[in-house]
């Protein structure tokens, strides 16, 4: 029997690469996206479905449709998300709420909706796509960083909560990947590009560096391969890194003191002024 997978944010990047790879491996894949016209496929194993992760009714409709067709959902990949680029001082209330609504609360919504289905079948795998910035802070990314720190906390807690039902929960922590993230998933507060912002020097030093690292980043297929490995290997660790930046910084974060690690990050990203 083919395993059934639901992937959020599947129209581009890691989500799209994962949807294609899993379908090629014989999974019945449901690729969730807010705009189904962005992902056209003729694969019998891959179906693009309308899914708004900020809308409970949309989530429930998607889960019901998949369950009605198969009586199961074996894999959930929580991939959808974006990054707000803003200082804490200049962010609006709505920008803060929107960032957490998409990156954090949507994961709660999807996990809440899919858990009864997985629990009924006494099996399931939930993979949360986090970031190496879920363990590392950067200026101008405080809101994105904090949502990814939250994803790590969700993963840790759900592992305890769902293990009695044979449901595995994992996170992957990608570095920077060469996808459309910089174009489609970086949302910049209006003050960041303003000449009047008191943070202009910081913006000028950091943002071009980050954009270059994203545009020259790793191939999304390596992240998709990691997702497949976690699904297939029941002994997979709670979290795994993928990509050059994640492989560089996460081990360093574990080995160094907070003060030494901060010095390394300041030097690497030219944050010393």
pLDDT, one tens digit per residue, over 147-200 is 999 999 999 999 999 999 999 999 999 988 765 554 566 788 988 888 889 999
| 127 has a pLDDT exceeding 70 | yes
d(CA 122, CA 209): 46
Distance of CA 218 to the CA centre of its chain: 15
pLDDT at residue 189, rounded to an integer: 92
Q: Is 67 a catalytic residue?
A: no
Tens-digit pLDDT profile for residues 243-253:
888 888 899 98
- Single out the catalytic residue among 144, 160, 199, 269: 144
Q: Confirm or reject CATH 3.40.50.720 for domain 4-268, answering yes or no.
A: yes
Instruction: Count CA atoms within 13 Å of residue 253 on its CB side.
Output: 14
Nearest in space to 182 (alpha carbons), one of 209, 146, 205, 215: 215
Tens-digit pLDDT profile for residues 29-60:
999 999 999 898 889 999 999 999 999 999 99
d(CA 178, CA 211): 10
Q: Residue ranges per domain, the chain?
A: 4-268
| Choice among 50-59, 63-72, 107-116, 214-223 with the minimum mean pLDDT | 214-223
d(CA 140, CA 262): 16
pLDDT at residue 193, rounded to an integer: 83
2 near 27, Cβ under 8 Å?
A: yes
Region 98-117 average pLDDT: 98
| Choice among 10-24, 146-160, 211-225 with the minimum mean pLDDT | 211-225
175 near 242, Cβ under 8 Å?
A: yes
Q: Where does the pLDDT of residue 273 fall: very low under 50, low under 70, confident under 90, or very high at 90 and above?
A: low
| 71 has a pLDDT exceeding 70 | yes
């Amino acid at each position: 029997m083919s395993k059934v997978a639901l992937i959020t944010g599947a129209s581009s990047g890691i989500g799209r690469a994962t949807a294609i790879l899993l379908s090629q491996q014989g999974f019945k894949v449901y690729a969730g996206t807010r705009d189904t016209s962005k992902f056209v496929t003729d694969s019998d194993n891959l179906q693009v479905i309308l899914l708004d992760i900020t809308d409970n009714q949309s989530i429930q409709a998607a889960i019901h449709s998949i369950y009605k067709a198969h009586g199961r959902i074996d894999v959930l990949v929580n991939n959808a998300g974006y990054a707000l680029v803003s200082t804490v001082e200049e962010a609006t209330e709505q920008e803060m709420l929107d960032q957490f609504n998409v990156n954090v609360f949507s994961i709660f919504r999807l996990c809440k909706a899919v858990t009864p289905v997985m629990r009924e079948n006494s099996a399931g795998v939930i993979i949360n796509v986090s970031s190496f910035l879920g363990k590392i802070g950067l200026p101008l990314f405080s809101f994105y960083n904090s949502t990814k720190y939250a994803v790590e906390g969700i993963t840790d807690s759900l592992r305890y909560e769902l293990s009695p039902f044979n449901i595995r929960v994992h996170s992957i922590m990608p570095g920077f990947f060469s996808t459309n993230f910089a174009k489609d998933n970086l949302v910049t507060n209006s003050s960041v590009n303003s000449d009047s912002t008191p943070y202009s020097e910081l913006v000028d030093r950091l943002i071009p560096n980050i954009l270059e690292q994203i545009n020259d980043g790793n191939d999304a297929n390596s992240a998709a391969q990691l997702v497949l490995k976690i699904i297939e290997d029941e002994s997979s660790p709670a979290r795994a890194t993928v990509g050059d930046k994640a492989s560089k910084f996460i081990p360093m974060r574990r080995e160094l003191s907070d003060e030494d690690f901060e010095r390394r990050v300041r030097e690497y990203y030219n944050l010393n002024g």
